[in-house]
Structure 1
Amino acid sequence: YPLDFEKFWLAARNNPHDFTAWTELLQYVEQENHLFAARKAFDAFFAHYPYCYGYWKKYADMERRFDCSRETEEVFERGLQSIPLSMDLWIHYISYLQSTLDMNLPESIQKIRGVFEAAVAAAGMDFRSDKLWELYVEWEREQGDLRAVTGIYDRVLSMPTQLYNHHWEKFKEHVLHNPPKDILSPEELLWVQSKLATDPVPKPPEPEATEAPPGEDLPPGVEGKAAAAATDAQVGTQRGIPGDSLGTPPPFPTRLTFNSQEDLDQEKIRELVISMRQQIYAQNEAEVSKRWNFEDGIKRPYFHVKPLERAQLRNWRDYLDYEMAAGSHERTIVLFERCVIACALYEEFWIKYTKYLENHTVAGARSVFQRACGYHLPRKPNIHLLWAAFEEKQGNLDEARRILRCFEEVVPGLAMVRLRRVSLERRQGNLEEAEALLLEAMRANEGLPLASFYAVKLARQACKVQKNLGKARKVLVEALEKDPDNARLHANLLEMEFGADVRQNEGNTMSCFERALRSPLPDEAKLIFSQRRVEFLEDFGSSIHR
């Protein structure tokens, strides 16, 4: 390894939650251009921060510089498995394949098409996935498969995305500039021809773009054709969409001179093809309008360790609530996945995601718990407690035990985790194990207030669950010998004595009062015990001499 590698490595490994230490380590191995050191550093880094797509690209680029083609592809696949919504990583991977595969081989074409399909299946529903869809369209056009281009447009035209209007205009251009037989499947072409033989061609209605729904602003691309074209040109430049310029598409002729009946028939087919998809476009436009303000509120869609502003967190909450109420299950999942990238270090969004998934898929909820607890929130107790409870509900008791035990090893001393372990064993009837866990906690915290806290828990279990008042009394009396000025111990012992048969337990109850009044408790606490003693004797005392 390079000379200073150990220094940077230890700084990161000894404090794995120090993001700066990791970035300094990665920057060092890149500068040294040392492949083995880089592999060790990147692999360790991604065990903590798998959502950093930029570093996946750096890792793949380093493998490529050393001509490690198999390893390069493996890095891309690992990165895309970790962050499947990363458009940049998908596009970087596709670009790598295009530059390294022999495009004269049919299997190369099939491989790239397969990766495109995997990309749009994983990330195509993202509101900002336009760049990926456009790249797919252009690639199929380069292959000369115009029917495939039509198929892609048919999918994206029903997808609410940022540049939805641009896709519509490009689709119309595709239809009007190519012969119908080249762009339509034989089945659709036959259907269109039979439709034209029986019905007149409906004129495609213009998009209703002059008014927005009450209380909603029109998103760019809805104000009319001229404004749409201008907006698309501007947004397309900002997003860096490959291919042709996104400026105003060439004007489509409204009056044509046809040289033959065949030309006239083709034009009618084109009109019907566009008309059939006009309603889909209008519906998609309405869906975009509903989401536009939410999308506009997302200022940092990528992962970072820096906290998000409150306004952005509130926007994510509101957007998720809207999508869960009004959207499809698939769109809700995609939005949750986008959210937990930007908000990976916020426990509330992972919890919200798991609660949503528990009503749909057990395997999906488990996968989210594993990602949240295994990578992003290894020291957050609530998500671990919920995961353990989830596994217990599924009957996976050993897994629930493992989750709690492992978390306690990472973050020792949390009473809420120890008590959850105790209650799990109690629910399964393992009272001896539950008692052993409490005794272990008492010993580990001897001399601390927490030991008395666990003593109370153990005494309650002995009294209420095991129905053994003598055992419970012994636990609390021993605890009071070590912590005599603990008012909570005195109060719990008194309550347990009260709970027994008053006539048979009068002596033990009076002993409890006397022990409290002799203890080094503050005078205010002793006054309360004295008042309760008088009240007890008035209500239950057997002799006036007491």
Structure 2
Amino acid sequence: MCILIFNKLNAFTLCKMVIMNLRKMEILNLYSSLTLSLLFNYLDRLYERGLASVGKDYNCNILWDKCIAFEHSHKQLHHLVYIYIRSLRFPSKKLHSYYQSFRELVAIWQEEMKCQNIAMEPLEAAVTCELVEMSMGNDFEFRNLICDLLDQAVGLLRPETFMKILTIGEYFYQKSTNIDDKIHYFEAQIWRPYFHMKPLDEYQLQIWHQYLDFVDMQGDLDWTVKLYERCLIPCASYPEFWVRYIETMETRGGREIANLALARASKTFLKRIPLFHLYCSKVKEQVGDVHGARASLLECDIHLSSNLINHVNQQANMEKRLGNIGAAYLIYEKATEMVKEQDIQAFSVLYKHFARFTYVVEYY
């Protein structure tokens, strides 16, 4: 009675307490069943978290293999169907192998259901549109759809849904096959997927840009984010990739991701690159973060004359855009006073910029 009232975890604890005081076969069997149930649920969630993180990576076949073996060992039909079809949604090193396994499973079902005479029929336009919409959905919605197509009460496919399951698998396999060769080419050309202080050669940088271009065109934001994050491991020292990542996320509605990337780059990987801090200031000003924009400008190296002039111009122009003309004048005055006796050439160039700035403010 207690086990019916408590949840599984409480029932597990209760059985453990009973075993310590009473050695009975029924209690031991119940304890074992609960333990296996909890372990299965834990491993299932663990695999799901792993697949959610790297399931779209071309090199994730090791995790897929482990997950498929796990589902085979528990003979959970709806989970096994879901995993096989999900492995076909995106290209991987073992895409064709997973498709063959899926077809073998389908052949077993055909024999069990005595429906060997069923032939694949051409997809109607309405069904094709439904599959396209399905392919753009998230994994949670996709899993629910597959489970709905299965009769979980008896663990067998319903005859009327058999062809739809088969059609879904075929559709995703064909869709992945169409881009598999291109992705395989990019993956084969990536010689250093890890971080290293030694610079990458120009060809490697070009390959990463082409790979990102290709995935950007596929329209899958999650896949795009994962590839950018992977790219930024070997390319962490290159501002062009961080800028591209930030601007791609901004244009596709991922401002939070863009802000996190901006912070990581400016505080860790590119913190000693003044031009990137100027870029950060520009981005923050555009989104209305005036305090953050000023803070980014202060991170610039103002001790070198080549950076000083650009730094002062950026600060003054930003204050002008914000309507603080007096603060803009003060920035130029302090800068010219500071370099007047240290670098006469920098003083001359800076004073010309100050004069031009004053003229524009007063007459335009």
Q: TM-score, normalised by structure 2?
A: 0.70
Q: 2:119 aligns with which of 192, 195, 202?
A: 202
Q: 1:145 aligns with which of 31, 55, 76?
A: 76
DSSP 3-state at the match of 2:316? helix
Deviation at 1:363, TM superposition (A): 1.8
Residue number in structure 1 paired with 2:281: 388
Q: 2:357 aligns with which of 449, 461, 479?
A: 461
CA–CA distance in 1 between the matches of 2:171 and 2:197? Answer: 43
Residue number in structure 1 paired with 2:321: 427
**Alpha-carbon spacing, 1:435–1:111, altered in 2? closer, same or farther (3 Å):** farther
Q: Does 1:157 align with 2:88?
A: yes
Q: Does 1:320 align with 2:190?
A: no
DSSP 3-state at the match of 1:343? coil
Q: Which aligned pairs between 1:330-409 and structure 2 lie closer than 5 A?
A: 330-361=222-253, 362-408=255-301
Q: Is the 8 A contact 1:179 1:266 kept in 2?
A: no
Deviation at 1:275, TM superposition (A): 5.7
Listed one character per residue, the Cα deviations across residues 381-439 of structure 1 (whole Å, up to 9, x for unaligned) are: 33322221111111111111112113448999543233212211111111222122222
Superposed CA RMSD:
3.5
Paired residues, number: 293
What letter matches 2:354 in structure 1?
A: L
Q: Which aligned pairs between 1:8-87 and structure 2 lie closer than 5 A?
A: none
Q: Is the 8 A contact 1:320 1:332 kept in 2?
A: yes
Q: Is the 8 A contact 2:186 2:207 kept in 1?
A: yes
CA–CA distance in 1 between the matches of 2:38 and 2:264? Answer: 35
CA–CA distance in 1 between the matches of 2:75 and 2:300? Answer: 56
Residue number in structure 2 paired with 1:297: 189
**Alpha-carbon spacing, 1:461–1:319, altered in 2? closer, same or farther (3 Å):** same
Structure 2 unaligned regions, length at least 5? 1-33, 123-156
Give the % identical residues: 26
Q: Does 1:307 align with 2:199?
A: yes
Q: Does 1:446 align with 2:363?
A: no
Deviation at 1:109, TM superposition (A): 3.8
Residue number in structure 1 paired with 2:61: 130
Residue number in structure 2 paired with 1:172: 103
**Alpha-carbon spacing, 1:170–1:439, altered in 2? closer, same or farther (3 Å):** same
Q: Is the 8 A contact 2:85 2:168 kept in 1?
A: no
Q: Is the 8 A contact 1:379 1:411 kept in 2?
A: no
Residue number in structure 2 paired with 1:85: none
**Alpha-carbon spacing, 1:159–1:376, altered in 2? closer, same or farther (3 Å):** same
**Alpha-carbon spacing, 1:464–1:273, altered in 2? closer, same or farther (3 Å):** closer
Deviation at 1:141, TM superposition (A): 3.0
Listed one character per residue, the Cα deviations across residues 109-166 of structure 1 (whole Å, up to 9, x for unaligned) are: 4333223222211211111111122222222333443421221111111111122112
Residue number in structure 1 paired with 2:13: none
What letter matches 2:316 in structure 1?
A: V
CA–CA distance in 2 between the matches of 1:297 and 1:204? Answer: 39
Listed one character per residue, the Cα deviations across residues 174-232 of structure 1 (whole Å, up to 9, x for unaligned) are: 44567999xxxxxxxxxx99xx6xx9511699xxxxxxxxxxxxxxxxxxxxxxxxxxx
DSSP 3-state at the match of 1:104? helix
Q: Does 1:417 align with 2:348?
A: no
Q: Is the 8 A contact 1:340 1:349 kept in 2?
A: yes
Residue number in structure 2 paired with 1:186: none
